[in-house]
Amino acid sequence: MILIDGKKEAASLREELKKEVSELKAKYNKVPGLTVILIGDLTPSQIYVRNKEKSAKEVGLNSEVIKYPDSVEEITILNKIHELNQDDTVSGILVQLPLPKHINKKKVIEAILPQKDVDGFHPVNVGNLSSGYDSSVPCTPLGCYLLIKKIEPNLNGKKAVLVGRSNLNGKPMTQLLLKENCTVTITHSKTKDLKNECVKGDIIVAAVGIPELIKGDWVKKDAIVIDVGINKTEKGIVGDVDFREVSKHAKALTPVPGGVGPMTIACLLKNTVECFKKSI
Ligand code: GUN
């Protein structure tokens, strides 16, 4: 079985980006800038944002984190986004989710200029992606996609089974795989006989948030299995895939941690560089 090393792939993507950023700097005397807005003090969000900032600096981006308390008013966030939209030194804007309940997520996402939407969450980007046009692509599915392509460059006619239908992963993943001529089945927590769907997959992407849901006998021999899950359990952090069992069946599998996670952050940096290049 191939253990897909997301850490290594992410490091190699960051290395490429670092080189590109230094070439852009030499050519334009400017570097891409990423601004992250972090609201509240949720520990996982703080850890993600710290990692994003560290990685952004490592590849030579201008990186800024703007922090607000949980009690911040929605209008303050919207005004800040409008200000960042106008700021030429800011190539990409990311508002870390989840947001406090009194802040309207849709309004916040729609306030970001689509050209600066490094998350690919703005409806214009979602629409462009689903129509097959150029767009920002959400970082997690983009990371999954790059890992799959590394194992299997030709996805023509492959059967992909997505477990989870979120806007963050399942839906955009569908578009990426359709573009590669996969036959895509989207399943979720309410799908009847999920096992029967999964066993048909040449590729399985699990992003449903149920610890170790995907068992060994749910996976066809030689399938590529991508585990997006990050679930806290008494055993520690586990994915949506039963790693011990599935590693005996699959051709290739991502570990948790060290699989999709590092790729997500590297893809955010990639999206920031892409936004910058389109802006000059
Ligand atoms: N929270 C968890 N994942 C993400 C992500 O990809 N983007 C944003 N903005 N927030 C998140």
> 1 CA distance to ligand 1 centroid (A)?
30
Q: Is 65 exposed, middle or buried (0-12, 13-18, 19+ CB in 10 A)?
A: middle
Instruction: Give yes or no for residue 139 CB within 6 A of ligand 1.
Output: yes
Instruction: Give yes or no for residue 99 CB within 6 A of ligand 1.
Output: no
Per-position b or e across 14-44, b if 16+ CB within 10 A of its CB:
beebbebbeebeeeeeebbbbbbbbbbebee
User: For the chain, what percent of residues have pLDDT higher than 90?
Assistant: 100
Q: What is the pLDDT of residues 208-225, one digit of tens each?
A: 999 999 999 999 999 999
Pocket test for ligand 1, best of 168, 228, 230 (most atoms within 8 A of CB): 168
Residue whose C-alpha is closest to residue 251's, from 169, 181, 147: 147
Pairwise CA distance, residues 72 & 199, whole Å: 47
Confidence grade of residue 102 (pLDDT, cut at 50, 70, 90): very high
| Spans of all domains in the chain | 29-114, 139-261
Instruction: Give yes or no for residue 140 CB within 6 A of ligand 1.
Output: yes
Q: What is the pLDDT of residues 227-271, one digit of tens each?
A: 999 999 999 999 999 999 999 999 999 999 999 999 999 999 999
Instruction: Give yes or no for residue 49 CB within 6 A of ligand 1.
Output: no
| pLDDT of 189 | 84
> 49 CA distance to ligand 1 centroid (A)?
9
Structure-block tokens of residue 179: 């573009």
CATH superfamily of 139-261: NAD(P)-binding Rossmann-like Domain (3.40.50.720)
| pLDDT of 152 | 98
Pairwise CA distance, residues 55 & 175, whole Å: 27
Is the pLDDT at 85 greater than 90? The verdict is yes
Query: Are residues 237 and 212 in contact, defined by beta-carbon separation less than 8 angstroms?
Result: no
pTM value > 0.85: yes
The CA-atom distances, in angstroms, between 8 and each of 15, 27, 50, 265 are 11, 29, 20, 13
Q: What is the mean pLDDT of residues 56-71?
A: 98
Pairwise CA distance, residues 17 & 141, whole Å: 19
> 220 CA distance to ligand 1 centroid (A)?
31
Confidence grade of residue 48 (pLDDT, cut at 50, 70, 90): very high
Question: In this structure, which topology does domain 29-114 adopt according to CATH?
Answer: Rossmann fold (3.40.50)
Q: What is the pLDDT of residues 111-166, one digit of tens each?
A: 999 999 999 999 999 999 999 999 999 999 999 999 999 999 999 999 999 999 99
